[in-house]
Amino acid sequence: MNYKVIIPPTEEPLTLDETKLHLRVDNMDEDDYISALITAAREQVEQITGRALLLQIIQQKYTDFPRKSKEDYPAIRLLKSPVAEVSSITYKVEELVDEVLTIVDAEMEAEDYIITSTEPAYIVPNVGTDFPSTNCEIENVIVEYIAGYPTAADVPQSIKFAMLLLIGDLYENRQDGIRNLPRASQALLNPYRTNKY
């Protein structure tokens, strides 16, 4: 399963001023560089935790919908949390159009599925139904959804502090090398990981 950020967040969890205060930088010479570090740290933290830190539009593509088995109920796992809303679930299906078998676009109606409130969230078909049948082409099923905390103030403080520690490490060590995420950052982020399994 892969995801793609269609529309990134319009702000960052940390401001330039609070980041410079943490770095003990009081001039404007490296503002652009520090701003780039803030974005890089957010992207790294999102990758590590499986979270979207601020509202963004995510797209996931599949060859087909999952099918019910004896052991499992069909479910689409949404790879970024927290999920604010599912915008659309589209897929291709074969239909007779003017007596010609044609591949057309279709969209699931919101009442046909349920979004769980878990982290990670799952999309499951409504009770007594199943996901639709498709023509099973590559990247046939497309799920788009909005994920992230509503505002920077809603991002947990531990995540912000982990970002500051990561930014401090990147700021002080500007050359590439064999390095791991700072231990304190790992400890702060572990409780927020949704992609442990």
Report, as an integer, the average pLDDT of 79-104. 84
What is the mean predicted confidence (pLDDT) over 6-11? 96
Question: For all residues of the chain together, what is the average pLDDT?
Answer: 89
The bridge status of strand 113-115 relative to strand 122-125 is antiparallel
- CA distance to 26, 36, 42, 153, per residue, from 165 (Å): 18, 15, 12, 18
Q: What is the pLDDT of residue 179?
A: 67
Residues 96, 133: Cα–Cα separation, whole Å: 15
Token pair 């701003």 in the structure block, residue: 35
Task: Tell me the Ramachandran region of residue 124: left when phi exceeds 0, alpha when psi lies from -120 to 50, beta otherwise.
Answer: beta
Which is nearest to 167 in space by CA: 47, 63, 59, 38? 38
- Asked whether the predicted pLDDT for residue 107 surpasses 60, the reply is yes
> Which range has the top average pLDDT, 55-59, 66-70, 107-111?
55-59
Structure tokens at 117: 């409130």
The mean pLDDT value for 185-195 works out to 90
Q: Where is pLDDT greater, at 191 or 2? A: 191
Q: Give the pair of three-digit tokens for residue 152.
A: 């920077």
- Looking at residue 176, what is its pLDDT? 72
Q: Does pLDDT of 71 surpass 80?
A: no
